[in-house]
Amino acid sequence: MNREPQFELDIERHVRAPHEKIWDAFVRPEAMREWMCPRGMTSTVEADVRVGGGFTIVMRAGDGSQYTAKTKYRELVRPERLVYTWQWVGEGMPNVETLITVTLQ
């Protein structure tokens, strides 16, 4: 049986901001557009912030290329924890779903 490789990556960041403000940066489309794509790119975000909902982000580069990711929220505990999937869509993109967990402490 062939299984896709699995690994876990832990990243810790110290942010001097109230948890509510950080939470909003992860769920409000106008805030997500500001940071959720590489520098030099622009993005649009549509979100349905509820368990079972998700967001779609479309990132556009200066050369006209664009990259789209779709997500699905699995857990939303304001302002402490978000769990969602992330999957790139489109021709040439890997068919891999990533599980992302954000914990605010």
Query: Cα dihedral sign for 9, 38, 73, 5?
Result: negative
Question: At which residue do the structure tokens 């948890």 appear?
Answer: 19
3-class DSSP assignment, residue 28: coil
Confirm whether pTM is higher than 0.85: yes
Give the architecture (CATH level 2) of 19-103: 2-Layer Sandwich (3.30)
The torsion angles phi and psi of 43, rounded to 5 degrees, stand at -150, 160
pLDDT grade for 3, boundaries at 50, 70 and 90: low
Residue 38 CA to residue 17 CA, distance in Å, equals 22
Residue 61 CA to residue 68 CA, distance in Å, equals 12
CA distances (Å), origin 85, targets 14, 29, 56, 73, 82: 23, 17, 11, 7, 10
Cα 24 to chain centroid distance, Å, stands at: 13
Q: How many CB atoms lie within 10 A of CB 71?
A: 19
pLDDT tens track for 7-60: 888 999 999 999 999 999 999 999 999 999 999 999 999 999 999 999 999 999
pLDDT tens track for 60-101: 999 999 999 999 999 999 999 999 999 999 888 788 899 999
Q: How many CB atoms lie within 10 A of CB 105?
A: 6
